[in-house]
Structure 1
Amino acid sequence: MPEIPEMEIYRDYLNKWVKGKEIKKVKVLRVKSVNMESTAFCQSVMGKLIRAITRRGKYIIFHLDDGHFLLTHMMLDGRMFLLPLTNQKNSPEFKEIMSEILEGKAEDLRQRIKGLPGKPSVVFILNDDSILFFCSLTLGYLHYLRQDELESKLGELGSDPLDSQFKALEFTRLIKGKRGMIKPWLMNPKNIAGVGNAYSNEALFRAGILPTRLISAISDADSVALFNALVTILQDSIRLGGDMEEPFAPWDDFTGGYNPQFQVYERTGEPCLNCKTVIKKSEVGGRNAFYCPHCQK
């Protein structure tokens, strides 16, 4: 599932390539991915200018010029893909792709467009004739919201670890007195927004804390170490390209560059890069936890 780094990379790309453009046409290919009847959704979104794109936790928010917002969450399999067909509107390829989009032939699009990361759920055709695909929104979604609806949805989230106002001291105060194991708490978006399985495993490893450690057994020093580890790892992942293998656009050779940097995540049975102890995997809070039994206590 995309976490903070992957969504931050999306936000950066979208601001560079989509911000300031008009949504000229819309096609909903999976009706359950939007929060309105598909015709009403298309009518609401079409003709709107995208003023800005921001991120909150794992959410991407498109700010539209009518005062509404498009809120998207990728969940497990969702991906975005930009096909830059600018200045190609008279080419046979563009006409064929446009025809298949408008006729709702999602499977044909997957065969035709190299790199498309899944079956398109919603498609935006922008005013420069580039095409933004929201793919595989089986669990994910794209919702058209008023400001009060957006604030209500985002109001459920905890602090974002990359928020410059969120410091180690506040993190330490936040977990003090809480019950349960640290890894499920860290992944709960009501506590910390945007941290999932991959980066919670990595932060706990770097801080030397077992995923099963009870929060009541975490000292203030351990809490500060965990916060600093989490922030550093998230920033490093953003700088190196995040974890996703699927590119944002045909020209994108940056996305996924952090994948080789994982120390424990999905390295079950491999030697710890610090001490050579075999990396273990167990289920914690319904999710896989990867850890080194020697380096983490």
Structure 2
Amino acid sequence: MPELPEMENYKILLNEKIAGQIITDVQVNREKSINLNPTLFINTIKQQKVLNISRRGKHLLFQLQNGQILLLHLMLGGWMFYGTEAEKPKRTVQIRLSFGQNHLYFIGLRLGYLHLYSQSEVEKELSHLGPEPLSNDFTVNDFLLRIKKKHGRLKTTMLDQEFIAGIGNCYSAEICFDAKILPTKDIDDINDVGRSQLYQSMKFVLQEALKHGGYLENPFYNGDKLTGSFYKIRKVYDRKGEACTRCGATIIEEMISSRKTFYCPNCQK
């Protein structure tokens, strides 16, 4: 599932490609991917200018000139491609937004969605989300105050979008590795030094992932060399049975709260 770095990467690229452009056509191939009658959905957004694209947690918000907002959550398996019909990947497209000869394709939206809301409706939809981990306003003291109220396994807490927005399966594993803390560890057993290190590792890992375009394998457009580059430099995620880059021990895979997690049993304590 795309997480904060992947969605931030998409946000940057989308602002480069479609901000200020008019939606010239709309194609809905899967009604379950939207929240309105297809005719109403299409008529509301067609011929509207996309003013900008912003991000909140794992969501993207397409601000339209008429005040409406397209709220995107890719969920598991969702991704996007921007280009001409000839460049389009040979995949099933659930929704297509056209901008003249170029199109924005939404692919793999079996669980994901592109919903249309007013500003107040969007605020309600996203009101449960915790703080943005890369915000300058989110300090180590804020983190310590929030984690002080949490109990149970660290991995489960890191995945909680009400605790902190945008962190999922991949980056929770990478953050714990960078902090040298086992994701299976109980939060009550982590002292303030370890908790402060988690905060620093969270900032570092997410910034590194964003710098390398996240871990998604599919390029956003033809010639896109950045998107997905982080996958090549990941430390533990999806590396079961491989050698730890820090100590050489074998990376382990374990299920925590029905989620696969990866860690080094030797240098994560």
1-side partners of 2:249 and 2:160: how far apart?
A: 29
Query: What letter matches 2:73 in structure 1?
Result: H
Deviation above 4 Å: which 4+ runs of structure 1? Answer: none
TM-score, normalisation: structure 2: 0.97
Paired residues of 2:81 and 2:88 also in contact (CA < 8 A): no
1-side partners of 2:102 and 2:9: how far apart?
A: 19
2-side partners of 1:24 and 1:193: how far apart?
A: 33
Task: Give the 3 Å change call, closer, same or farther, for CA 130–138 of structure 1 in structure 2.
Answer: same
Specify the alignment match of 2:238 in structure 1. Answer: 266
Q: Does 1:123 align with 2:96?
A: yes
Specify the alignment match of 1:207 in structure 2. Answer: 179
Q: Does 1:221 align with 2:187?
A: no
1-side partners of 2:75 and 2:232: how far apart?
A: 23
TM-score, normalisation: structure 1: 0.88
Query: What letter matches 2:183 in structure 1?
Result: P
Q: C-alpha displacement at 1:114, in angstroms?
A: 4.9
2-side partners of 1:219 and 1:240: how far apart?
A: 31
Once the two structures are superposed, the pairs formed by residues 94-133 of structure 1 within 5 Å of their partners are 97=85, 113-115=87-89, 118-126=91-99, 128-133=100-105
Once the two structures are superposed, the pairs formed by residues 29-178 of structure 1 within 5 Å of their partners are 29-83=29-83, 85=84, 97=85, 113-115=87-89, 118-126=91-99, 128-178=100-150
Paired residues of 1:115 and 1:246 also in contact (CA < 8 A): no
1-side partners of 2:75 and 2:153: how far apart?
A: 23
Paired residues of 1:114 and 1:250 also in contact (CA < 8 A): no
Paired residues of 1:177 and 1:216 also in contact (CA < 8 A): no
Q: C-alpha displacement at 1:230, in angstroms?
A: 1.1
Q: 1:76-116 deviations in whole A, cap 9, x for unaligned?
A: 11111101x4xxxxxxxxxxx5xxxxxxxxxxxxxx64535
Paired residues of 1:115 and 1:250 also in contact (CA < 8 A): no
1-side partners of 2:88 and 2:34: how far apart?
A: 25
**Gaps (5+ residues) in structure 1?**
86-96, 98-111
Query: What letter matches 2:17 in structure 1?
Result: W
Paired residues of 2:87 and 2:222 also in contact (CA < 8 A): no
Identity of aligned residues (%): 39
Paired residues of 1:161 and 1:192 also in contact (CA < 8 A): yes
Specify the alignment match of 1:20 in structure 2. Answer: 20
Specify the alignment match of 2:256 in structure 1. Answer: 284
Task: Give the 3 Å change call, closer, same or farther, for CA 52–258 of structure 1 in structure 2.
Answer: same
Q: C-alpha displacement at 1:251, in angstroms?
A: 2.0
- 2:24 match: secondary structure: strand
2-side partners of 1:79 and 1:13: how far apart?
A: 13
Q: How many residues align?
A: 269
Larger Rg, first or second structure (1 or 2)? 1
Paired residues of 2:15 and 2:52 also in contact (CA < 8 A): yes
2-side partners of 1:261 and 1:226: how far apart?
A: 20
Paired residues of 1:115 and 1:247 also in contact (CA < 8 A): no
Paired residues of 2:80 and 2:104 also in contact (CA < 8 A): yes
- 1:23 match: secondary structure: coil
- 1:81 match: secondary structure: strand
2-side partners of 1:24 and 1:183: how far apart?
A: 44
Q: C-alpha displacement at 1:212, in angstroms?
A: 1.1
